[in-house]
């Protein structure tokens, strides 16, 4: 077919030349220019019709595989990329082609022949093991992959680019905590921004209370002005970042004021907040863990028994006589209270249980430590809590909590006289179960 096309071109050109020569001999000089223009136009049309199509290289896809972690000498994550290049145009032969991963990434020469790079029309080629580096101080960012034909025409440059995304799971903004709650309800968040002091960063706060965020969570408390604020620190994830959070811009460097317009400690739905730091030059970003604020709750001593037995997975044992005179056998919580009594973990200095009284944090702490038969200890340097001295009835239990490593969630104030919450109870059970 290619030979036939060549014959057609040769015949056409020969015919045109014969016409041109004959015309040059026969026509008058005044008509010469008209004839010349017509012949040249015909020759140009023939050449354009049978000229080969220019190539059109495009990056079809990029996949990343992590191959290395940051080190003390090189604070970068290493990735190997697999790049699929496709030619949507005409055949490319022996061209000089380069591949680059964007700013601060290396440029490599792509070759598959001794003379350079060739790729037939409609064919694809796979570039393997192209190394990309990603800054170890950040969680996410992108590399703008670019394929470039140096010495030949690439008919469409708009498809020569592909964005490859990085994401590292361990939050790079550390130490996020609730530092204070202002009188108008504004939350003051603090965090460690030491990694980002050498360059100016844009800090953003995101919050939402209409969804549920899953993930590993840890109970945390902040105490000030004789108030206890409980919340959870949840490990952030790519799924969380893709949720529909509200955005609040801020410019503070090491603390952020979050004005929600409502009190998250009285709302039925939990409120989730996290911080993002963005490098305006590279576009790389770092994120914090998510803080989850929820409604304060409390429970009576009767309700406590049921919550405790259910969460700890304790087998019901309501046998024996009823010790407490204010807990009849038809009480809805009788079996749970009797179970804890039979376990020997309830205070029996008096024979009334007071089921309708609000359970305090000190009472919960004493019960949990007794239930799990933790050895009571007082560590060196006691007291370790500002509000629990040696005269406090729960002093030994508070010190045991500190010595056994269960106090990391609390501040210097543990407020044992305050009402206990379900989160507080579950945290203590988790610490010792």
Domain extents for the chain? 2-49, 57-167, 174-293, 301-432
pLDDT of residue 259: 86
| Residue whose structure tokens are 């024979």 | 351
Token couple for 297: 């709750």
Domains 57-167 and 174-293 agree in fold = yes
pLDDT of residue 211: 79
The answer to whether the beta carbons of residues 221 and 170 sit under 8 Å apart is no
pLDDT of residue 22: 53
pLDDT of residue 287: 95
| Residue whose structure tokens are 């543990």 | 414
Measured distance CA(15)–CA(227) in Å, rounded: 101
The answer to whether the beta carbons of residues 154 and 55 sit under 8 Å apart is yes
What does CATH list as the number for 174-293?
2.60.40.10
pLDDT of residue 373: 95
pLDDT of residue 38: 63
What would the 3-class secondary structure string for the chain be?
A: CHHHHHHHHHHHHHHHHHHHHHHHHHCCHHHHHHHHHHHHHHHHHHHHHCCCCCCCEEEEEEEEEEEECCCCCCCEEEEEEEEEEEECCCCEEEECEEEECCCCCCEEEECCECCEEEECCCCEEEEEEEEEEEECCCCEEEEEEEEEECCCCCCCCCCCEEEEEEECCCCCEEEEEEEEECCCCCEEEEEECHHHCCCCCEEEEEEECCCCCCCCEEEEEEEECCEEEEEEEECCCHHHHCCCCEEEEECCCCEEEECCCCCCCCCCCCEEEEEEEECCCCCCEEEECEEEECCCCCCEHHHHHHHHHHHHCCCCCCCCCCCCCCCCCCCCCHHHHHHHHHCCCCCCCCCCCCCCCECEHHHHHHHHHHHCCCCCCCCCCCCCCCCCCCCCCCHHHHHHHHHCCCCCCCCCCCCCCCECCHHHHHHHHHHHC
Measured distance CA(163)–CA(101) in Å, rounded: 9
pLDDT of residue 33: 58
Measured distance CA(430)–CA(433) in Å, rounded: 5
pLDDT of residue 213: 83
Backbone angles phi, psi at 89, to 5 degrees: -110, -145
Measured distance CA(264)–CA(159) in Å, rounded: 47
pLDDT of residue 183: 83
Measured distance CA(45)–CA(264) in Å, rounded: 75
Partner residues linked to 217 by β-bridges: 234
pLDDT of residue 9: 47
pLDDT in tens, the chain (433 residues): 444 444 544 455 455 545 545 555 555 555 555 555 665 666 566 555 556 799 999 999 999 999 999 999 999 999 999 999 999 999 999 999 999 999 889 999 999 999 999 999 999 999 999 999 999 999 999 999 999 999 999 999 999 999 999 999 999 999 999 998 888 888 999 888 888 876 778 888 999 887 788 888 899 998 877 788 999 999 998 888 888 888 776 755 556 888 888 889 988 889 999 999 999 889 999 999 999 999 889 999 999 999 999 999 999 999 999 999 999 999 999 999 999 999 999 989 999 999 999 999 999 999 999 999 999 999 899 999 999 999 999 999 999 999 999 899 998 899 999 999 999 999 999 999 9
pLDDT of residue 40: 62
CATH 2.60.40.10, applies to 57-167: yes
The answer to whether the beta carbons of residues 299 and 220 sit under 8 Å apart is no
């Amino acid at each position: 077919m290619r030979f036939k096309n060549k014959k057609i071109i040769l015949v056409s050109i020969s015919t045109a030349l014969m016409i041109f020569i004959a015309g040059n001999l026969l026509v008058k000089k005044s008509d010469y220019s008209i004839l010349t223009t017509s012949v040249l136009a015909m020759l140009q049309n023939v050449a354009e019709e049978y000229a080969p199509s220019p190539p059109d290289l495009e990056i079809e896809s990029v996949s990343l595989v992590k191959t290395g972690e940051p080190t003390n000498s090189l604070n970068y994550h290493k990735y190997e990329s697999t790049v699929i290049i496709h030619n949507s145009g005409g055949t490319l032969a022996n061209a000089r082609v380069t591949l680059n991963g964007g700013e601060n990434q290396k440029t490599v020469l792509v070759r598959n022949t001794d003379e350079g790079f060739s790729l037939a029309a409609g064919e694809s080629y796979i570039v393997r093991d192209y190394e990309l580096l990603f800054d170890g101080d950040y969680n996410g960012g992108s590399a703008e992959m670019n394929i470039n034909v140096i010495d030949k025409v690439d008919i469409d440059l708009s498809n020569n680019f592909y964005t490859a995304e990085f994401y590292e799971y361990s939050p790079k903004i550390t130490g996020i905590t609730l530092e204070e709650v202002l009188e108008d309800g504004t939350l003051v968040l603090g965090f460690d921004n030491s990694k980002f002091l050498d360059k100016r960063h844009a800090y953003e706060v995101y919050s939402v209370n209409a969804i549920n965020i899953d993930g590993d969570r840890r109970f945390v408390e902040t105490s000030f002005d004789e108030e206890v604020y409980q919340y959870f620190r949840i490990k952030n994830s790519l799924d969380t970042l893709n949720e529909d959070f509200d955005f609040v811009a801020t410019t503070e460097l090491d603390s952020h004021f979050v004005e929600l317009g409502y009190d998250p400690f009285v709302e039925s739905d939990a409120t989730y907040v996290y911080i993002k730091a963005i490098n305006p030059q590279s576009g790389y970003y770092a994120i914090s863990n998510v803080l989850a604020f929820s409604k304060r709750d409390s429970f009576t001593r009767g309700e406590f028994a049921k919550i405790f037995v259910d969460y700890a997975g304790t087998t019901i044992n309501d046998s024996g006589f009823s010790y407490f005179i204010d807990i009849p056998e038809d009480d809805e919580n009788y079996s749970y209270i009797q179970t804890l009594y039979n376990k020997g973990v309830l205070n029996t200095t008096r024979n009334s249980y007071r089921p309708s009284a609000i359970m305090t944090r000190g009472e919960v702490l004493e019960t949990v430590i007794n239930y799990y038969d933790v050895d009571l200890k007082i560590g060196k340097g006691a007291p370790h809590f500002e509000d629990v001295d040696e005269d406090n009835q729960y002093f030994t239990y508070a010190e045991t909590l500190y010595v056994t490593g269960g106090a990391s969630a609390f501040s210097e104030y543990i407020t044992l006289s305050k009402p206990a919450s379900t989160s507080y109870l579950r945290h203590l059970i988790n610490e010792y179960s």
